[in-house]
Amino acid sequence: MQRELARKLHPDYVKASKVSSVISHAVILLLVLGWLAFALWKDWTLVPVWIAGGVVLLSFVVYTWIVPVYEYRSFSFEVFEEEIEIKSGIIFHSNILVPMVRVQHIEVGSGPVMRKYKLASVTIVTAATKHEIKGLDKDEAEALKQHIGELAKVDEQHD
């Protein structure tokens, strides 16, 4: 079995994850502020608004400043001739082996924030589930797709 070094996510993944979290939390904060305005207009109690605001603030700190860093540190993957090993998890660690014979197809995708940082994700699809390797350099993601496709003998489908 030919062994490669464990590969990590691109360092810009942390920035992209933080930006994505800020955008998501801004939308949620606007909803809470709308709820506050409505509660003030209807003269309702503000306790639920303050609770929601506290939860949003706590979530913002955790998912913007803590999770991206630890996710980057804990994620790695290795590609072997016979399988792909994906290690992840912050609190609950996961070590997944995907046999090459089970790979049905491989997808490369990228959302707007990931595209800004020239990053992409590779999704390995089997009959049972999908496994995602996110936060790779776009060129590296394409090369990984080709490499896994060759090892898994997957016919490339053009869109």
Instruction: Give tens-digit pLDDT for 69-107.
Output: 999 999 999 999 999 999 999 999 999 999 999 999 999
pLDDT by residue (tens digit) across 129-143?
Answer: 999 999 999 999 999
pLDDT at 153: 83
- Average pLDDT score over the chain: 92
Residue 159: pLDDT over 90 = no
Strand segments, DSSP code E, in 58-129 are 76-79, 83-88, 94-99, 103-109, 119-126
